[in-house]
Amino acid sequence: MKTLKDFDYDLWAIEENGKKRYFARVKATGEETEIDLNVMRLLLSQEKQMRREYARQQIEGTILNLNAICDSCNMDEAAWMADTHHIDSDLLYTDIKTEFCKLLTDSQRSVFIECLIEGKSQTEFALDHRISIPMVNKQIRAIRKKAKKFFTEG
């Protein structure tokens, strides 16, 4: 995955006569083009994902795996002793998330995954799903209420 300083394009929006227009500039060539809202959202979500991945790597460091050990053709014995704790916690997290999602309605599950897990804003979710922002907030409150009950009973 590329780092943020290697990001390939710049994004911006302008408003003319009450209408928003979205643009992208390719850094390598300097070319600029107008893009539609869906492309802008996609590119912004990719940039957000890269920022999160970069932040995670800064905290956790590089994760060792057997493929990296074998690909390097340098069989460092210390690499075999890598901590596998994150694997167990990832599996546990997946199990808990799956069980919790069974308690949610379809709309709550959608809000839970897109907003609370993936980090989409309430405004973005409301626009994407054509519902009001207060309705998204109401769903989040209901999710939190169920989560509180789920984790205190567990």
pLDDT in tens, 43-64: 888 888 877 877 777 776 655 5
- The answer for residues whose C-beta is within 8 angstroms of residue 47's C-beta and 6 or more apart is 4, 7, 11
Least-confidence region, from 26-40, 78-92, 97-111, 128-142: 78-92
Can you give the pLDDT at residue 139?
94
* Three-class SS state of 15: strand
Q: What is the per-residue pLDDT for 126?
A: 94
Could you give the dihedral angle defined by the CA atoms of residues 38, 44, 48 and 49, in that order, rounded to the nearest 10 degrees?
50
Higher pLDDT, 142 or 52: 142
Beta bridge partners of 33: 24
User: Which pLDDT does position 72 carry in this prediction?
Assistant: 47
pLDDT at site 66: 55
- Give me the percent of the chain exceeding a pLDDT of 70: 71
Averaged pLDDT of the chain: 78
What's the whole-model pTM score?
0.44
Is the pLDDT at 4 greater than 90? The verdict is no
pLDDT tens track for 74-115: 555 554 455 555 555 666 677 788 888 899 999 999 999 999
